[in-house]
Amino acid sequence: MSKTIRVCVTGAAGQIDYSLLFRIASGEMFGTEQKVALNLLEITPALDALKGVAMELDDCAFPLLEEIVMTDDVNVAMKDVNWALLVGSKPRGPGMERGDLIKENGPIFTSTGKAINDHAADDVRVVVVGNPCNTNCLIAMHNAPDIPRDRFHAMTRLDENRAKSQLAEKAGVAVTEVKNMVIWGNHSATQVPDYKNATIAGKPATDVIGDLAYLQSEFISTVAKRGAAIIAARGKSSAASAANGLIDHVKSLLTPTPQGEVFSSCVCSDGNPYGIPEGLIFSFPCRSNGDGTYEIVPGFELDQHLTDGVAKTVAELESEREVIKNLLG
């Protein structure tokens, strides 16, 4: 059995992590032969609730779970971690604008970035889930200057999975038949689910569905507004599906991507082959060799509708960056 993987999970008493931690400890994220240690970070008032989560983890007697560290100190939480899964952040309150949320959460990711820089293991990889995840990731990356930029991700995997599921349902096929479902841009309402390059049973999704108007309007808006639809139905935001997206995201980095396939991840746009401005955390089609590294896959062509969407999501990310530029060091 290989060396224990130490994983920091932030916001560990929150609802996403209540679905996530047990699946990490059972081996779903890193494999059923791989021991894990969990460094769980919470804010001080949530430490009692976190103890309850840890008691439940104990009560599962997971053979792979070697240690649980609970703390409200981000420097302790990041000590020697190989993976930092940054889920914790403040939720959007009533009447709060997106800009307010960005300003509220930005400082969390400044101290988190610094702690990763100073205390994490040399091979650390970071995935940000806490919203606004692209911009939070940008802040963390800038505050961790010693960590290579290609170690930082924000999550659009839930959006990709949502889009795959919508296409499969529309085409009346199993979800496994849908491939190359790329999400471009920001994990927000401006995201661009790419119907043009998606395939269904090996054929272009546009041919199989045969209804471009649906793909350009209802499909895109259903995927982009799915989070709000779940809040409306459940009274709480998506949690189990977000945890599942994060598991899929990490597994995609640790599994060689099948030839001709891609997955979506928000990564640093520096040097990207699509002409997206540099210095953003932007969702691209990616592939991995299975060792945690990735490359942005070139050659995906967009139609005018998608190109217009990409311009909007770029503009949104640039405006978010403007709001927190004082946190970028």
Nearest approach in angstroms of CB 118 to ligand NAI is 17
Distance between CA atoms of 92 and 6, rounded to whole angstroms?
A: 30
What is the 3-state composition of the chain as percent helix, strand, coil, each rounded to the nearest 5? Answer: 45, 15, 40
SS3 letters across 80-146: CCCEEEECCCCCCCCCCCHHHHHHHHHHHHHHHHHHHHHHCCCCCEEEECCCCHHHHHHHHHHCCCC
> In the complex with ligand NAI, which residue's Cβ is closer, 154 or 205?
154
Nearest approach in angstroms of CB 24 to ligand NAI is 15
Q: Extract the annotated binding site for NAD(+).
A: 105, 129-131
Task: Give the residues lining the site for ligand NAI (CB under 6 A).
Answer: 10-11, 13-16, 41-43, 46, 87-91, 108, 129-131, 133, 155, 158, 187, 237-239, 242, 245
Distance between CA atoms of 269 and 256, rounded to whole angstroms?
A: 22
Report which residue's Cβ sits closest to ligand NAI: 14
Q: Extract the annotated binding site for substrate.
A: 92, 98, 131, 162
Burial class of 128 by CB neighbour count within 10 A (0 to 12, 13 to 18, 19+):
buried
Distance between CA atoms of 110 and 142, rounded to whole angstroms?
A: 8
Q: How many residues does the chain have?
A: 329
Q: Residue 258: is the preceding peptide bond cis (ω within 30°)?
A: no
Nearest approach in angstroms of CB 42 to ligand NAI is 5
Cα 35 → chain centroid = 23
* Residue with token string 């609970």: 70
> In the complex with ligand NAI, which residue's Cβ is closer, 46 or 76?
46
Closest to 277 (Cα-Cα) out of 221, 230, 321: 321
From its phi and psi, is residue 176 left (phi > 0), alpha (psi between -120 and 50) or beta? alpha
> In the complex with ligand NAI, which residue's Cβ is closer, 42 or 194?
42
> In the complex with ligand NAI, which residue's Cβ is closer, 34 or 117?
117
Q: Which residues are catalytic?
A: 187
> In the complex with ligand NAI, which residue's Cβ is closer, 116 or 239?
239
At residue 7, φ and ψ (nearest 5 deg) are -120, 125
Q: Do the beta carbons of residue 40 and residue 24 sit within 8 Å?
A: no
> In the complex with ligand NAI, which residue's Cβ is closer, 39 or 180?
39
Q: Do the beta carbons of residue 101 and residue 132 sit within 8 Å?
A: yes
Nearest approach in angstroms of CB 141 to ligand NAI is 16
Q: Extract the annotated binding site.
A: 92, 98, 105, 129-131, 162
Per residue in 40-61, is it b (16+ CB within 10 Å) or e — as a string? bbbeeebeeebeebbeebeeee
